[in-house]
Chain A
């Protein structure tokens, strides 16, 4: 597309986060995942005649934490409203949501772009609302089956300002939100399971234009990757349409991950008149200063703060800090390892390397790691104090993972201690040199690359246990001094 540089995209994200409470937003039914249909839908969730909503206090705490993490205002009073529409998974025929005075308003999130720069994305609002039930379409001829277990589960909808400009920025923003909600322990943020859902509002305009183009809303993107692809596709589609002389229809579109396209959803236009009005069954929610402050005290260190602290205190690179700080469990693990090993850089490398490799291979939760942070810390110390070489340590780590035994036990049982005795190494070096006269001749005639061969032979002779640095030094020495036979 030769004209692509003339265009810019304007993107806003609406992220629905399922809050991990025990009971529902307005009823005492359980929110556990995977229950048999309609066994967790009480009379309130079923919208029986005469039922009334009662607010779950935990939800307020979670929303306040989120608001603080998003540098936003907490509105008091905050008001619930009815959003009216008919759909079988919405039993009351309206959803209790928030319109005016949402609980969180006017915040921002600083995201780090690929080039290392930081961009501030405004968060217009975050409001509470109840989730709908589920429709199942298979197994029933010509019918759909409605399961209302999920109906009434608390959601918080986070709406960004349309200040995102590229699919990559969108993903960075999304990942940031994901990281925060897991840090705050208010949601497990699992996009595949639907506890975090993302809708993308996309429009395009010529660079330099201040007016916004017509936007479309794309739904059904359930992974970071698909968010990027869907937005990318939608931007291209819109540019194509406009360049072909067509106008963009304001509509909702569904992303098809198989074809990597978006297509319009069918719905009557005026049917989207939600007729919001203040929920008469709920009173305005007053959030006292004391209450907000008590919640503030329970806040953990947030990902961004942690990232900065890792960079400054542990002197890690921005990249390493970013990776480690993104997940709270991983960050905690790292700090525990460092407490034991006293070597932040090496610990970071080991965690991002060997450790995560094993975790990812077995798809484990960090908390279910087969090697504890203390154990890993000790292993790293053994490298630092030259008990074992880095290479041997990798073997030891594998064995630790398999057997859950401590590093020291494995090292001594398998006799893996590093050889650091100079005379011993000299013996091995002499032996190797004696056994390889041709290579020696070639080395002396200028084939410097053969140095590596000799190193390899010495390591082999020592079963990998010789201290590589010392081997290098002694070899250099001995290779020079040996007279040509």
Chain B
């Protein structure tokens, strides 16, 4: 068995009992990245020198018996997290030459626990997309089938972990960008409660929806990493000042009696048979584990997509105003005057999807439309959040398919924005309400994985991880890896 085939937990155990060193593990990944990544393009930057340096330090600490919690584990960071002195591009031409002058809290926290950074992963430009086809650095391919997309916007992180080019990868989720790629690549992906993970240094797309999380091979791995990533950060005003539970302990909690809600509006939709089938099979698994199933209603759920596509573009239109060619990043050639500097820099620096969203967002906030769009959407958001509050009065978690189908072919949806946006119909509601959601493998159709989603109440990551973990103790979907 190759070292990269082990789960993160197994690698940690191996490092701790000196079965192998971090340097060996890291070199294993670096070699594999060189060989395999060109065919999937999951990395934008590989930080080989840094990784080996970090691995050596980790090994030194292991030898001295002073190992840190995650010492020597090689992971990748989505290129949306600022990493000091390392290229941080956000998948965009706008930042293609940008070396961040500081590190994000997520990156710092994980470094403090001894992780080794293999590199920065590819992503949809500025986190806008569901297929990783909008990156300035080229598409990412799904390791399960190179003609298919890995999902997005954290496509690079997902492909990389699925292809065993990192033990795990950090990622972000604004409308489903962790959970959807997790589903399409056969991984476990968790988006925590809004405010659980610091957003400082996490390049902003939609501030009230963005959350940092992780893509791993198992729920147990996710629990380990999430514990280290989470916590209060005074540099982020929206960061929760609440203690982080011991997730690795909590995953062992018994789920007998867990009340699982099935939103009837989700299941009344037109879902492909294979999705319906794998979801129903998963429900049976949970019944066998002692969970109770209950039908619930989300009367306002069909507002999710319009609400999201008003609010996210609105916030992003302001968040992306700083990209103007003045202080960092791309600048157009020979600007004639200030207007020209702005207009051409932004036209040339941003891709079409980003520009579309900025324009929509600008429109939704403009005089005359603010009330009808932005304000209206914020009110409808409240309605959706209220639906969740109501649901959690009677259930513990809410179950649904993660996506309306398996992965799709590259090029299939890229020219149809609405079709692309429909990828996120099951994932968006959790972002709007700020609630945690997890996706994990529950099936396979024509060689492509399927994901199951659980959404929990505020700060119930432990419950979600536990539910996923128990599912993984009695099923093998998560153990399947692409032949790659």
Which residues of B lie under 8 Å from residue A94 when comparing CB positions?
A: 318, 321
Against A, the Cβ 8 Å flags (1 = close, 0 = not) of B190-222 are 000000000111111011100000000000000
B327 at interface, CB cutoff 8 A: yes
B367 at interface, CB cutoff 8 A: yes
Which residues of A lie under 8 Å from residue B206 when comparing CB positions?
A: 280
Which residues of B lie under 8 Å from residue A50 when comparing CB positions?
A: 81-82, 100, 104, 199-204
Q: Are A49 and B322 within 8 A (Cβ)?
A: yes
**Contact status of A93 and B374, CB under 8 A, knowing A50-B82, A281-B207:** no
Q: Are A273 and B101 within 8 A (Cβ)?
A: no
Q: Are B200 and A91 within 8 A (Cβ)?
A: no
A88 at interface, CB cutoff 8 A: yes
Task: Name B6-50 residues within 8 Å CB distance of A.
Answer: none
24 examples of A-B residue contacts, CB within 8 angstroms: A47-B322, A47-B327, A48-B82, A49-B88, A49-B204, A50-B100, A50-B104, A50-B200, A50-B201, A50-B204, A51-B201, A54-B234, A54-B236, A54-B237, A84-B318, A84-B365, A92-B322, A93-B322, A275-B366, A277-B318, A277-B370, A277-B374, A281-B237, A283-B237
Which among B199, B324, B328 is the interface contact of A93 at CB below 8 angstroms? B324
Q: Are B200 and A51 within 8 A (Cβ)?
A: yes
Q: Are A93 and B321 within 8 A (Cβ)?
A: yes
Q: Are A49 and B203 within 8 A (Cβ)?
A: yes
Q: Which residue of A has the minimal Cβ distance to B195? A: A283
Q: Which residue of B has the minimal Cβ distance to A28? A: B235
Against A, the Cβ 8 Å flags (1 = close, 0 = not) of B308-337 are 000000110110111010111000000000
Q: Are A275 and B315 within 8 A (Cβ)?
A: no
A356 at interface, CB cutoff 8 A: no
A43 at interface, CB cutoff 8 A: yes
Q: A-side interface residues toward B, CB under 8 Å?
A: 43, 46-55, 82, 84, 86, 88, 91-94, 146, 148, 273, 275-277, 280-283
Which among B98, B101, B200, B322 is the interface contact of A52 at CB below 8 angstroms? B200
Against A, the Cβ 8 Å flags (1 = close, 0 = not) of B177-198 are 0000000000000000000000
Which residues of A lie under 8 Å from residue B96 when comparing CB positions?
A: none
Q: Are B82 and A49 within 8 A (Cβ)?
A: yes
A281 to B236, CA, bound (A): 8
A55 to B238, CA, bound (A): 12
**Contact status of A86 and B324, CB under 8 A, knowing A54-B237, A273-B366:** yes
Q: Which residue of A has the minimal Cβ distance to B367? A: A273
Which residues of B lie under 8 Å from residue A282 when comparing CB positions?
A: 237-238
Q: Which residue of B has the minimal Cβ distance to A275? A: B365
B372 at interface, CB cutoff 8 A: no
Which residues of A lie under 8 Å from residue B95 when comparing CB positions?
A: 49
Which residues of B lie under 8 Å from residue A280 when comparing CB positions?
A: 206-208, 238, 315
**Contact status of A49 and B326, CB under 8 A, knowing A43-B102, A277-B314:** no
Chain A nearest Cβ from B80, distance in angstroms = 8
Which residues of A lie under 8 Å from residue B366 when comparing CB positions?
A: 273, 275
Q: Are B101 and A43 within 8 A (Cβ)?
A: yes
Most central of A43, A84, A280, A281 by chain B CB within 10 Å: A280
A91 to B325, CA, bound (A): 11
Q: Which residue of B has the minimal Cβ distance to A80? A: B237
Which residues of A lie under 8 Å from residue B208 when comparing CB positions?
A: 280
Which residues of B lie under 8 Å from residue A283 when comparing CB positions?
A: 237-238
Q: Are A275 and B327 within 8 A (Cβ)?
A: no
**Contact status of A275 and B203, CB under 8 A, knowing A84-B321, A86-B324, A93-B321:** no
Q: Are B365 and A277 within 8 A (Cβ)?
A: yes
**Contact status of A48 and B238, CB under 8 A, knowing A93-B322, A277-B374:** no
Chain B nearest Cβ from A311, distance in angstroms = 48
Q: Which residue of B has the minimal Cβ distance to A46? A: B327
Most central of A43, A88, A275, A283 by chain B CB within 10 Å: A275
**Contact status of A48 and B315, CB under 8 A, knowing A55-B237, A86-B342:** no
Q: Which residue of B has the minimal Cβ distance to A146? A: B326
Which residues of B lie under 8 Å from residue A51 when comparing CB positions?
A: 200-201
Tell me the dominant secondary structure on chain B's binding face: loop
A287 to B90, CA, bound (A): 38
Task: Name B453-469 residues within 8 Å CB distance of A.
Answer: none
B338 at interface, CB cutoff 8 A: yes
A94 to B204, CA, bound (A): 14
Which residues of A lie under 8 Å from residue B321 when comparing CB positions?
A: 84, 86, 92-94
Q: Are B326 and A88 within 8 A (Cβ)?
A: yes
Extra inter-chain contacts (20) besides given A46-B328, A49-B95, A273-B366, CB under 8 Å: A47-B322, A48-B101, A48-B328, A49-B322, A50-B82, A50-B100, A51-B200, A51-B201, A82-B318, A84-B365, A86-B324, A91-B322, A93-B320, A93-B321, A93-B322, A277-B318, A277-B365, A281-B204, A283-B237, A283-B238
Against A, the Cβ 8 Å flags (1 = close, 0 = not) of B336-348 are 0010001000000
Chain B nearest Cβ from A116, distance in angstroms = 46
The 3 closest A-B pairs by CB, nearest first: A93-B321, A280-B207, A275-B365
B122 at interface, CB cutoff 8 A: no
A277 to B324, CA, bound (A): 21
Which among A53, A82, A88, A93 is the interface contact of B237 at CB below 8 angstroms? A53
Which among B314, B315, B326 is the interface contact of A91 at CB below 8 angstroms? B326
B162 at interface, CB cutoff 8 A: no
B362 at interface, CB cutoff 8 A: yes
Q: Are A52 and B326 within 8 A (Cβ)?
A: no
A91 to B102, CA, bound (A): 18
Q: Which residue of B has the minimal Cβ distance to A84? A: B318
Which among B102, B207, B317, B318 is the interface contact of A48 at CB below 8 angstroms? B102
Chain A nearest Cβ from B172, distance in angstroms = 11
A52 to B200, CA, bound (A): 6
Chain A nearest Cβ from B48, distance in angstroms = 24
Q: Which residue of A has the minimal Cβ distance to B89? A: A49
Q: Are B338 and A88 within 8 A (Cβ)?
A: yes
A49 to B96, CA, bound (A): 13
Chain A nearest Cβ from B91, distance in angstroms = 12
Most central of A48, A52, A273 by chain B CB within 10 Å: A52
Which residues of B lie under 8 Å from residue A55 when comparing CB positions?
A: 237
Which residues of B lie under 8 Å from residue A47 when comparing CB positions?
A: 322, 327
Which among A49, A52, A86 is the interface contact of B236 at CB below 8 angstroms? A52
Chain B nearest Cβ from A277, distance in angstroms = 6
